Chain A
């Protein structure tokens, strides 16, 4: 392996190593099944394996399409694998003759769907739990009823149900969460705390807001309180939005149950986990499409968005005030400068265009028109008459005697008008020549 840090060889070598580990894991998983090791739940191998996958791309947090796609793929895979694990558990929980003809499997399906729906309807903290669950190995306890046959997992609470699925259900909100955490405009402790579901912080903030500002720092206290008030509003809007999302998720489960019943009635059973996953996605999209076109969604989505931006604006104001106090450039100053530059650029473009038009303009038409006007006015005839008159005037001047002055001799010139030749004379300077 090349030790040059600028070489990409290390990445390939490292990747090979990781791949080998994973291959071993995959093979071990299959052999485990045959050797009846982890017979209580062979899916544990997959659970542990899932935690290894993110390491593949850990050294390079680069934003190349390959790395991004693979990270997205890992995340999506997690949803699929967790679903697979959950389905495995559900099948283990079924009575042995569930799949046999004549067995009343629909009541068991009812119970499974009911358990899944309880995840969303009975637990108001589901959203925060989902977000906390993302990227962590531990899952919060959701108070779910235990499903018979669900094994205990070392280091994990016995959740007995839908938590594994949360990676799938929470995908839309995860995208939102990722946006907030990855975007420097929003990434900060306050915004993140809004997503953590930290009730103790909320209680602390509520208490703080009830204290009036006093003394020299009154204004600063009020600003801080305003920020917290806005933060609480955002959190409330976020909760309301999540409740709507949970409703959509329960609707998707209704659709899933309905479609499974239809498949059963039609005698077209699902053959693979992948088939089930696709059906699940279809149902979720159908429910989502119903939700996002509702007035309720529009109102809650807008409220959440606007509340978030108000928090962000308040933070920006506070930061600007602090920067100003330190005599450092503020966002307001930069905005003002950019605005002025934009105005100047517009003026410059307008002047350039005007100049270009003037340069390109053909004035010959105007000149010809003026000539025509002059012709119409008889300017030529007037000129000729004027020349004649001037010639007559010259003649009369030439006939006059030469004047002399005491200190100098002035050559009198006649103005050439109307073709009369100039004649030099001597005499005093005359005003107006």
Chain B
């Protein structure tokens, strides 16, 4: 059978309908107003260089006594975790009675080129943790690391176990050499010394291009053709644009930190080999002895599940649990199902451990 029922006349009609929809959409665009994101009320409680530590206003009268410090990745902006009211992991945690802090790394500029991973982990994260400990007059806090922020959280917990009561990692790469890790495969041949010595900070656009290259036809083509279907639905269109804003809101990467992350983690797979050194100290996952909850996404194309699940083998904790979310890397934060599943799972696990 001929595989088309399309004929020239139908093709013209379809394109004409498409055009008309697109034309009508321009009006929707101009009436859209500003695209806001990061919706939950919060207060800046500590600042240092480009970093801001936010404290979210609790949504219950008596929040859980141990606050959570959320450590996001350096890539992209942390408002993904609070992108809109009905798609907010932060809000979900607040609704579950958690007391939530979040590190916003800001936008590094050329003066931050020499920031190292030691500065980020033993410096910024440690000082934020100490600020919260002092503020709450508490010895240890809970830490929740997301993606690269999860890797940082593991390093921090290994080196400062006395400050971490419970550790939650979300879509966190641990074994960087699993066969299905496309980003890692691409990173092997990059002359990162040449790159950083030449460019200083690594442009966010360059990282965006790398991410888009994983699904180029879908992410630079089909997605926008599909967007036309949303043009007469302002709410859905605004949600689309909010995601779009986040995707292309990519801070530059501090050069030295990027160099070390690519070499030690992606190229040498140093986290599981125990050869990553921050300052004068070696990161050993066996020192992560506090309870660990590892949340991964089964369809994650950026951090494959096996890359996250490797943590079980190397972590020193005897209280280790995994939560598998049936979805992708982004869906873990923003999908409707994740709102119902993930924050309650995290909060309940933390409450069980006091």
Cβ-Cβ contact count across A and B, 8 Å cutoff: 242
B173-195 vs A, CB cutoff 8 Å, 1 = contact: the mask equals 00000000010011011110011
Q: Is there contact, CB below 8 Å, between A68 and B14?
A: no
Q: Which B residues are in CB contact (< 8 Å) with A270? A: 3-6
Q: Which B residues are in CB contact (< 8 Å) with A88? A: 8, 11-12
Q: Which A residues are in CB contact (< 8 Å) with B354? A: none
| Known A46-B15, A66-B29; contact A312-B198, beta-carbon cutoff 8 A | yes
Q: Which B residues are in CB contact (< 8 Å) with A312? A: 198-199
Complex CA–CA separation, A42 to B14 (angstroms): 13
Among the stretches A188-196, A296-304, A385-393, A401-409, the one at the interface with B is A296-304
Q: Which B residues are in CB contact (< 8 Å) with A7? A: none
Within 8 A of A (CB), among B111-140: 111, 113-115, 119, 123
Complex CA–CA separation, A331 to B199 (angstroms): 10
Contact with B19, one of A46, A271, A306 (Cβ below 8 angstroms): A46
Interface size, chain A (Cβ < 8 Å):
98
Contact with B209, one of A25, A176, A271 (Cβ below 8 angstroms): A176
Complex CA–CA separation, A98 to B2 (angstroms): 7
Q: Is there contact, CB below 8 Å, between B9 and A33?
A: yes
Within 8 A of B (CB), among A54-112: 56, 64-66, 68-70, 72-73, 75-77, 79-81, 84, 87-88, 91-92, 98-101, 103, 105, 109
Complex CA–CA separation, A263 to B2 (angstroms): 8
Interface size on B, as a range, is 35 or more
Task: Determine if B212 is an interface residue (Cβ-Cβ < 8 Å).
Answer: yes
| Known A46-B19, A99-B4; contact A292-B182, beta-carbon cutoff 8 A | yes
Among the stretches B69-77, B162-170, B220-228, B282-290, the one at the interface with A is B220-228
Complex CA–CA separation, A109 to B115 (angstroms): 58
Task: Determine if A140 is an interface residue (Cβ-Cβ < 8 Å).
Answer: no
Q: Is there contact, CB below 8 Å, between A313 and B220?
A: no
Task: Determine if A272 is an interface residue (Cβ-Cβ < 8 Å).
Answer: yes
Among the stretches B57-65, B86-94, B239-247, the one at the interface with A is B239-247
Complex CA–CA separation, A33 to B8 (angstroms): 10
Nearest Cβ in chain A — how far from B248, in angstroms? 6
Contact with A171, one of B4, B182, B195, B216 (Cβ below 8 angstroms): B216
Task: Determine if B110 is an interface residue (Cβ-Cβ < 8 Å).
Answer: yes
* Interface of B (DSSP majority class): helix
Complex CA–CA separation, A350 to B336 (angstroms): 45
Q: Which A residues are in CB contact (< 8 Å) with B248? A: 65, 68
Q: Is there contact, CB below 8 Å, between B5 and A18?
A: no
B225-269 vs A, CB cutoff 8 Å, 1 = contact: the mask equals 101100000000000111011001000000000000000000000
Within 8 A of A (CB), among B1-50: 1-16, 18-20, 22-24, 26-27, 29-32, 35
Nearest Cβ in chain A — how far from B117, in angstroms? 13
Contact with A77, one of B22, B32, B198 (Cβ below 8 angstroms): B22
Among the stretches B146-154, B200-208, B316-324, the one at the interface with A is B200-208
B residues in contact (CB < 8 Å) with A: 1-16, 18-20, 22-24, 26-27, 29-32, 35, 110-111, 113-115, 119, 123, 182, 185-186, 188-191, 194-195, 197-200, 203, 205-206, 209, 212-218, 220-225, 227-228, 240-242, 244-245, 248
8 closest A-B pairs by beta carbon, nearest first, are: A302-B189, A76-B224, A65-B245, A172-B216, A342-B114, A313-B198, A73-B224, A264-B3
- Known contacts A22-B22, A29-B19, A168-B221, then 14 further A-B pairs from the complex at CB < 8 Å, ordered by chain A residue: A23-B20, A43-B15, A49-B19, A174-B220, A263-B3, A264-B2, A269-B1, A269-B2, A272-B14, A274-B14, A281-B218, A305-B190, A309-B199, A335-B113
Interchain Cβ contacts under 8 Å between A and B, 26 examples: A15-B26, A23-B23, A25-B19, A30-B13, A46-B15, A65-B248, A69-B240, A72-B220, A73-B225, A76-B222, A88-B12, A99-B2, A109-B3, A168-B221, A176-B209, A183-B203, A270-B3, A284-B217, A285-B217, A288-B216, A292-B182, A292-B213, A338-B110, A338-B113, A342-B119, A349-B123
